[in-house]
């Protein structure tokens, strides 16, 4: 145990360790409050006195919720070592979060935005006080849970910090290799003499690497063998990076560098957020300090993201979810343009549903007045275009590419690393399966809404048809009983009444066409009822599907084995070694179970269409052709009474001009892999087949519907809306 006059701690409660100090969890002797104490070692006293006092002065000067607070500076009773008493962050650091296998492919979007907001706010406070940190990295960003249950991130470790204005330079080198600015890396790591001075933009480079790491789970610049083993190539990658590139990886020894200009597909961030973030990363990950953004522009662009609101949109034909980042003051026009950028559906072909009803957006409506959407309750987008859009589609990277192979021999360190990678891949598989499940639910719900609106339109058309029949009856009566004039000079009222002509057909073609309209609408309603009943069955199957739970159970077992591997000693006895081998076998079995459950989920999504829409009695001839013939017949009829009818009943006019375009042949099917081929590779093949070739089980991904009946339904819907 060690202590100061007011605090007590055990040397076993180590929180972190650096070159000049160790950090322990401690308690206040009077209140019992938990704090973190930074105890400096003998090496720290070899530094100049000015440097030793710098961290104390920095922390006393700074006061912000996103910077770790300094409570006191005390000395140990025996050795008189300096001790910083600071705020205790119980949830570790951002590095601890990223090392969790659940975040092997980066943070969830909501958590990343919290990191972005906290780091930007903390850095803004540093710049307002003229401080440069010089050692920003995930390990120096602490985390604690707020009272609202959300994470709060705080900058810490100001041992390398110093006061520096925007136009000033410094020459001393601090920092951690992977996050160092290339100019500092050349001098500190490669030990090459140089006379360069460094400005405040070195912090921006470190922030860029940190944000990329948080978004993707990996470092942006990785030479073959890793940054610590291949330092010359590491420097080459960072200094020769093309403009606009945000990552560079060397996959083979002496191989070429693969440059990336986008965040990887495995990243959990939405396309909407990626589009906002990539330009920022490209401009702060700039080795040339003259070309790199300044802090003013960095703060402006990051705050622009943080001040936007999110509108969740689900594209029905494309079966894809989108997050639209817009400002609260933006109008519908701006929103529709943003949706077009992600879906390729032009604004005038965008139609929205929300909670079962058609949702009309006034062109001047501001975004803060839109309905409140979530990932599970988005605006449902329907394209009214007759020609298919160029659909971007939904893509997933095969988790099998991240799934390692266990070595046959017992190697505790290697096995633990392999298990960690496997658990990370399993978490990614679970996320993909949940996305597919959500897709199935939103597809079924969206189609249910479309059918409901179609049935409402059918009822409205039938009501207008009854009104048209009333007008027709009036016309018939007018023609049967009409006054016959007595002559040019005869007084009014002296005419005679023409006798009725019961044998004359009263506009037979108009009556016949109206009758055909009724029969066609009734037939179409029957088609909708049939599809609706099948849809109800499918939605029940979605709720009864156990695939997600099976994957979760497999993952839980894998995590238990991984934790056991982490606890294992470097050397194992005979019995412990046998247990270790058995755990490896069980781990592999559970991994396969995880994969098969995910593949089954993809299979269910893929066969959605066949479960709901394989209705052999419904075809173009059953629905489309009668309505098409009827529409062409009425449109070609020159009878003046029809014109009078259309002028008297505008709704019937719209109905009479309705024509259903001919439906094309059924699109070719994509075969599924057999159960014996199920695995990570086949599961992603299925994902690509189901999400790229036919991402929507009910609607073809390029608006060419799989079933003639379904295409007819949607064609009628488009015309009714027009």
As a whole number, mean pLDDT of residues 208-213 equals: 97
Q: Name the token pair of 624.
A: 């489309």
Beta partners for 151?
Answer: 145
616-641 average pLDDT score: 35
Q: Which residue has the higher pLDDT, 384 or 618?
A: 384
> How wide is the angle at C-alpha 339 spanned by C-alphas 333 and 343, nearest 5°?
145
Per-residue pLDDT at 682:
34
How far is Cα 685 from Cα 665, in angstroms, rounded to an integer? 25
The mean pLDDT value for 34-54 works out to 77
**Average pLDDT score over residue span 162-182:** 67
φ, ψ dihedrals at 14, nearest 5°: -80, 130
∠ Cα 710 687 377 (to 5°) = 65
Q: What integer is the mean pLDDT of 165-187? A: 69
pLDDT at 697 over 70: no
CB 332 within 8 A of CB 365: yes
Q: For residue 56, what are its two tokens?
A: 């104390």
pLDDT given at position 473: 80
More confident residue, 162 or 573: 162
Distance of alpha carbon 495 from alpha carbon 573, whole angstroms: 123
Complete DSSP assignment for 571-626 = S--HHHHHHHHHHHHHHHHHHHHHHHHHHHHHHHHHTHHHHHH--TT--TTTTHHH
The closest alpha carbon to 270, from 392, 122, 126, 147, belongs to 392
Closest CA to 421 of 240, 320, 329, 558: 558
Instruction: Write phi, then psi, for 33 (nearest 5 degrees).
Output: -65, 135
CB 621 within 8 A of CB 527: no
Where would I find the beta strands (DSSP E) of 196-316?
221-222, 247-250, 257-260, 308-315
d(CA 179, CA 170): 18
Largest CA distance in the chain: 134
Contact call for residues 205 and 292 (beta carbons, < 8 A): yes
- Measured N-to-C along each axis, helices 412-480 and 508-544 cross at an angle, to the nearest 10 degrees, of 160
pLDDT > 90? residue 596: no
CA distance to 95, 448, 586, per residue, from 562 (Å): 19, 44, 11
pLDDT digits (tens, 9 = 90+) for 331-344: 999 999 999 999 98
Three-class SS of residue 544?
Answer: helix
Q: How many Cα atoms are found within 13 Å in the side-chain-facing hemisphere of 635?
A: 12
pLDDT for residue 294 is more than 80: yes
Which residues does the annotation place in the binding site for ATP? 38
How sure is the predictor about 530, in pLDDT bands with cuts at 50, 70 and 90?
Answer: confident
170 forms beta bridges with: 198
Type and span of the H or E element at 633: helix 624-636
Assigned token pair, 718: 């488009």
The DSSP string of 156-187 is: ---SS-EE--TT--B----S-GGGS-HHHHHH
**Closest to 21 in 3D by CA, of 157, 188, 153, 154:** 157
Per-residue pLDDT band at 79 (split at 50, 70, 90): confident
Tally Cβ neighbours within 10 Å of residue 371.
13
The mean pLDDT of the chain is: 76
**So what's the pLDDT on residue 489?**
53
Query: Across the strands, what pairs with 342?
Result: none
Tokens 């996320």, located at residue: 431
Length of the chain: 722
Contact 602, 684 (CB under 8 A): no
So what's the pLDDT on residue 183?
84
Cα dist from 92 to 15, 25, 84, 112, 133, whole Å: 8, 11, 18, 16, 20
Following DSSP, what letter does each residue of 642-680 receive, concatenated?
Answer: HHHHHHH-HHHHHHHT--PPPP-PPPPP-PPPPGGG-SH
Euclidean distance between CA atoms 92 and 49, whole angstroms: 30
Q: What is the predicted pLDDT for the residue at 259?
A: 96
pLDDT band at 402 (very low <50, low <70, confident <90, very high): low
Residue 511 pLDDT > 50? yes
At 466 the pLDDT is 82
Q: Using 50, 70 and 90 to split pLDDT, how confident is the model at 684?
A: very low
Nearest to 227 by CA among 210, 245, 249: 249
Measured distance between the N- and C-terminal CA atoms of the chain, rounded to whole angstroms = 80
Q: Looking at 44-48, 101-105, 212-216, which range is the least confident one?
A: 44-48
In the block, tokens 């000033």 appear at: 168
Residues 630, 509: Cα–Cα separation, whole Å = 11
Quote the percentage of the chain above a pLDDT of 70.
70
What is the 8-class DSSP label of residue 402?
A: G
Mean pLDDT calculated for residue range 70-82: 82
Q: Which residue has the higher pLDDT, 625 or 393?
A: 393
Tokens of 561: 């084995």
| Structure token digits, residue 707 | 């079933």
Which domains does the chain carry? 2-87 (3.30.200.20), 94-304 (1.10.510.10), 307-383 (3.10.20.90), 409-477+507-721 (1.20.1270)
Please give the annotated binding residues, written as ranges: 38
**Of 523 and 105, which is predicted with more confidence?**
105
CA distances from residue 688 to 547, 676, 695 in whole angstroms, order as listed: 19, 19, 8
Contact in structure between 125 and 64 (CB atoms under 8 Å): yes
Give the model confidence (pLDDT) of 224-261 as tens digits: 988 888 889 999 999 999 999 999 999 998 899 999 99
Hey, which residues does 250 pair with through a beta bridge? Answer: 257
Q: What is the pLDDT of residues 3-42, one digit of tens each?
A: 888 999 998 899 988 777 889 999 999 999 999 999 887 7
pLDDT attached to residue 565? 78
The distance from CA 684 to its chain's CA centroid, rounded to whole angstroms, is 19
Catalytic site positions: 135
Helix (H) or strand (E) holding 74: strand 70-75
Give which of 465, 439, 441 is closest to 691, Cα–Cα. 439
The more confidently predicted of residues 652 and 358 is 358
For residue range 454-488, list pLDDT tens digits in order: 888 888 888 888 888 788 788 777 877 765 444 55
Is residue 637 exposed (0-12), middle (13-18) or buried (19+ Cβ within 10 Å)?
middle
Name the residue with higher pLDDT: 342 or 577: 342
The region of weakest confidence among 170-179, 304-313, 492-501, 628-637 is 628-637
| pLDDT tens string 125-135 | 999 999 988 88
Sorting pLDDT into bands at 50, 70 and 90, what band is 159?
Answer: confident
> What sign results for the dihedral spanned by CA atoms 26, 31, 33, 36?
negative
What radius of gyration do the chain's Cα atoms show?
Answer: 35
Query: With contact defined as beta carbons under 8 Å apart, do 350 and 285 qualify?
Result: no
Q: Which residue has the higher pLDDT, 223 or 707?
A: 223
CB 179 within 8 A of CB 139: no
Query: Would you say 691 and 397 are in contact if contact means Cβ atoms under 8 Å apart?
Result: no
pLDDT of residue 194: 66
- Residue 225 CA to residue 654 CA, distance in Å, equals 69
């Amino acid at each position: 145990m060690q202590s100061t006059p007011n605090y007590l701690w055990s040397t076993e409660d180590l929180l972190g360790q650096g070159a000049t100090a160790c950090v322990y969890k401690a308690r206040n002797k009077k209140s019992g409050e938990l704090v973190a104490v930074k105890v400096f070692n003998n090496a720290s006293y070899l530094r100049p006195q000015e440097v030793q006092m710098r961290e104390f002065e920095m922390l006393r000067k700074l006061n912000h919720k996103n910077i770790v607070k300094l409570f006191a500076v005390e000395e140990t009773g025996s050795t008189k070592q300096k001790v910083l008493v600071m705020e205790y962050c119980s949830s570790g650091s951002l590095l601890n979060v990223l090392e969790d296998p659940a975040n092997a492919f980066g943070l969830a979007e909501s958590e990343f935005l919290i990191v972005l907001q906290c780091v930007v706010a903390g850095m803004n406070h540093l710049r307002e006080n003229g401080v440069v940190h010089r050692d920003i990295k995930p390990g120096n960003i602490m985390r604690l849970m707020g009272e609202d249950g959300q994470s709060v991130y705080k900058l810490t470790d100001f041992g390398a910090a110093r006061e520096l204005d925007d136009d000033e330079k410094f020459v001393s080198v601090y920092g951690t290799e992977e996050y160092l600015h290339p100019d500092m890396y050349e001098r500190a790591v490669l030990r090459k003499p140089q006379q360069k001075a460094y400005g405040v933009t070195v912090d921006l480079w470190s922030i860029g690497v940190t944000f990329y790491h948080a978004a993707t789970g990996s470092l942006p610049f990785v030479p073959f063998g890793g940054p610590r083993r291949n330092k010359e190539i590491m420097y080459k990658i960072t200094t020769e990076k093309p403009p606009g590139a945000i990552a560079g990886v060397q996959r083979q020894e002496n191989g070429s560098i693969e440059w990336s200009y986008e965040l990887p597909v495995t990243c959990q961030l939405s396309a909407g957020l990626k589009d906002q973030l990539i330009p920022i990363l490209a401009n702060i990950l700039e080795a040339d300090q003259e070309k790199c953004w300044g802090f003013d522009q960095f703060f402006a662009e990051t705050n622009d993201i943080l001040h936007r609101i999110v509108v969740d949109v689900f594209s029905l034909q494309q079966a894809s979810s989108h997050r639209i980042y817009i400002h609260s003051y933006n109008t519908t026009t701006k929103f529709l343009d943003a949706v077009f950028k992600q879906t390729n559906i032009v604004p005038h072909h965008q139609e929205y549903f929300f909670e079962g009803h058609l949702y009309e957006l006034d062109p001047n409506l501001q975004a803060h007045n839109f309905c409140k959407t979530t990932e599970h309750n988005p605006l449902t987008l329907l394209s009214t275009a007759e020609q298919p859009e160029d659909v971007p589609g939904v893509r997933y990277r095969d988790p099998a590419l991240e799934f390692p192979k266990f070595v046959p021999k017992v190697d505790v360190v290697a096995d633990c690393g392999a298990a960690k990678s496997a658990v990370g891949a399993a978490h990614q598989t679970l996320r993909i399966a949940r996305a597919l499940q959500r897709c199935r639910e939103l597809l079924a719900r969206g189609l249910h809404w479309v059918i409901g609106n179609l049935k409402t339109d059918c009822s409205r058309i039938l009501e207008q048809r009854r009104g048209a029949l009333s007008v027709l009856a009036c016309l018939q009566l007018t023609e049967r009983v009409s006054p016959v004039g007595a002559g040019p000079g005869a007084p009014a009222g002296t005419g005679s009444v023409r006798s009725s002509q019961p044998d004359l057909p009263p506009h037979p073609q108009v009556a016949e066409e109206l009758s055909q309209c009724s029969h066609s609408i009734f037939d179409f309603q029957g088609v909708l009822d049939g599809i609706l009943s099948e849809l109800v069955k499918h939605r029940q199957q979605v709720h009864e599907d156990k695939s997600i739970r099976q994957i979760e159970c497999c993952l839980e077992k894998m995590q238990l084995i991984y934790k056991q591997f982490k606890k294992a000693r470097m050397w194992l006895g005979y019995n412990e070694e046998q247990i270790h081998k058995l755990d490896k076998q069980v781990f592999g079995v559970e991994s396969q179970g995880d994969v098969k459950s995910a593949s089954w989920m993809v299979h269910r999504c893929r066969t959605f269409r066949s479960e709901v829409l394989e209705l052999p009695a419904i075809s173009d001839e059953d629905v489309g052709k009668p309505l098409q013939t009827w529409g062409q017949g009425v449109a070609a009829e020159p009878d003046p009474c029809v014109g009078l009818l259309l002028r008297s009943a505008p709704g019937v006019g719209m109905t009479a001009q309705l024509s259903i375009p001919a439906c094309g042949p059924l699109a070719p099917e994509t075969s599924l892999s057999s159960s014996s081929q199920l695995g990570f590779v086949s599961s992603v093949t299925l994902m690509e087949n189901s999400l790229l070739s036919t991402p929507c089980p009910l609607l073809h991904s390029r608006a060419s519907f799989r079933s003639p009946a379904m295409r007819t339904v949607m064609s009628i819907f488009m015309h009714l809306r027009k």
